[in-house]
Amino acid sequence: MRALLSEVAGGPAALVLRELPDPTVGPGQVRIAVRCCGVNFPDALLIEDKYQMRPPRPFAPGLETSGVIDLVGADVTSLKIGDRVIAHVEYGGFAEKLVVDAAHCIPMPDSMPFDIAAGVLVTYSTVHHALVDRGELKAGDTLLVLGAAGGVGLAAIDLGKSLGARVVAAVSTEAKAQAARAAGADEVVVYPVEPSDGKALAAAFKSVCGARGADVIFDPVGGDYAEPALRTAAWRGRYLVIGFPAGIPRIPLNLPLLKGCDVRGVFMGAARRQEPKKYDAALRELLTLYAEGKIHPLVSARFPLAEGGRAIEQLLNREVIGKVVVDCDR
């Protein structure tokens, strides 16, 4: 089989395509012929040794996969060869074949294409955990979404609207603003790529969120955008820390005090390990919402396996609108 490997710490250009023996299964495991793998910011951190965990090298990045089971362990009864499944793994998805525990596989709806399935697993699960579990978003709440044209940003607009929220999208270009509007955002703010005036940015956020402010702030960006967004929080608002590709921000703690608001961390990987049943239930709910036409995942670009590094690079350069997927079978 082919796999795109990280053999030394480095950026996307350091990944190399290798031929490896097909992996075999052990007790309780299945092997997936991987069709698609979603691309996520943690993939970039993993290959540069900047993530919370460091897999032993060589390893393939890739957290969310979809494919067809082509081998099952002797004791596996819940799945069979030919089943279409999705699986959330720590790494290993940028490969033609992947061995996972059968318990970590969930059958795909018949109507769901493989690229969409690979884009739902981490992205929408993270957003569901953020908005429903950590953010306690309710119908009628105002939701401010930063980085709203990226994979998790568009998913936050999509799921936020399905939950009945008024969604304000914040993006860096007019093209991304159009994508946010197409996803259902009620209002859009176009902010500078590198903001120099935090108070002006906060005023821009407040002008569209309204006098009350944002009940929930979804921030997958961090950096100099974080404090202006937090200043937009409503009384008892919830500021959700998703990630910080723009840099780890410094937050003045007088703001949560004055606003009576919460700053809440959203770490889907840890939540999945700590509360696996809750994670599985949320994922099944998302698949049901998809089957009912209530969420609309967007895959904007697909790359062959050999060009998986270029897919990660596009993500790092903020060139992505929606989700980017690697086709592992081509």
CATH number of the domain that 84 lies in? Answer: 3.90.180.10
pLDDT value of residue 41? 87
Does residue 50 lie in a domain region?
yes
Instruction: Find the domain containing 222 and state its range.
Output: 124-268
Same domain, 98 and 63: yes
Residues 29, 30, 32: CA angle, nearest 5 degrees: 145
Residue 178 and residue 186: Cα distance in Å, rounded? Answer: 12
Alpha helices in the chain (DSSP H): 41-47, 114-128, 151-162, 174-183, 198-209, 226-230, 254-259, 268-274, 276-291, 308-316
Count of structural domains, the chain: 2
Q: Which of 86, 99, 18, 105 is nearest to 57 (CA)?
A: 18
Q: Strands 233-241 and 142-145, how do they pair?
A: unpaired
Is 28 part of any domain? Answer: yes
- pLDDT (average), residues 272-298: 90
Q: Report helix, strand and coil shares of the chain as percent, to nearest 5.
A: 35, 25, 40
Q: Where is the domain boundary, 247, 268, 289? A: 268
DSSP 308-319: HHHHHHHHHTT-
Based on the fold, state whether residues 225 and 147 are members of the same structural domain.
Answer: yes
- Average the pLDDT over 86-103 and give the result: 95
- The per-residue pLDDT for range 13-54, each reduced to its tens digit, is 999 999 999 999 999 999 999 999 999 988 999 999 998 889
User: At residue 257, does pLDDT exceed 80?
Assistant: yes
Joined together, the tokens standing for residue 73 give 């362990």
Examine the domain organization and report whether 98 and 174 are in the same domain.
no
For strand 187-190 and strand 214-219, is the pairing parallel, antiparallel, or unpaired?
A: unpaired
Choose the final residue of a domain: 221, 247, 268. Answer: 268
* Residues 189 and 263 grouped into a single domain: yes
Here the CATH number for the domain that contains residue 198 is 3.40.50.720
Residue owning tokens 């980017």 = 324
The answer on pLDDT for 268 being more than 90 is no
What pLDDT, on the 0 to 100 scale, is given for residue 60? 98
- Edge-first strand listing for the sheet containing 142-145: 187-190, 166-171, 142-145, 214-219, 233-241, 262-265
What's the CA gap between 119 and 48, in Å, rounded?
23
Please give the model's pTM, rounded to 2 decimal places. Answer: 0.86
Whether residue 281 lies inside any domain: the answer is: no
Q: Is the same domain home to 143 and 58?
A: no
Give the SS3 label for residue 182.
helix
Q: Same domain, yes or no, for 243 and 316?
A: no
Those residues with Cβ within 8 angstroms of residue 161's Cβ, 6 or more apart along the chain or in another chain? 167, 184
In this structure, the answer to whether residues 146 and 233 fall within a common structural domain is yes
User: Can you tell me the distance from the alpha carbon of 272 to that of 125, in angstroms, rounded to the nearest whole number?
Assistant: 10
pLDDT computed for residue 279 by the predictor: 86
Judged on CB neighbours under 10 Å (0-12, 13-18, 19+), 189 is buried
Domain match, 104 and 130 both? no
Structure-token match 């569209």, residue found: 208
- Answer yes or no: do 162 and 212 share one domain: yes
pLDDT per residue as tens digits for the range 146-203: 999 988 999 999 999 999 999 999 999 999 999 999 999 999 999 987 777 888 999 9
Residues 165, 99 within the same domain: no
In a domain, 34, yes or no: yes
Is 258 found in the same domain as 137?
yes
In a domain, 286, yes or no: no
pLDDT, greater one: 237 or 194: 237
Do 167 and 200 share a domain, yes or no? yes
Give me the sign of the Cα torsion angle 264, 270, 273, 277.
Answer: positive
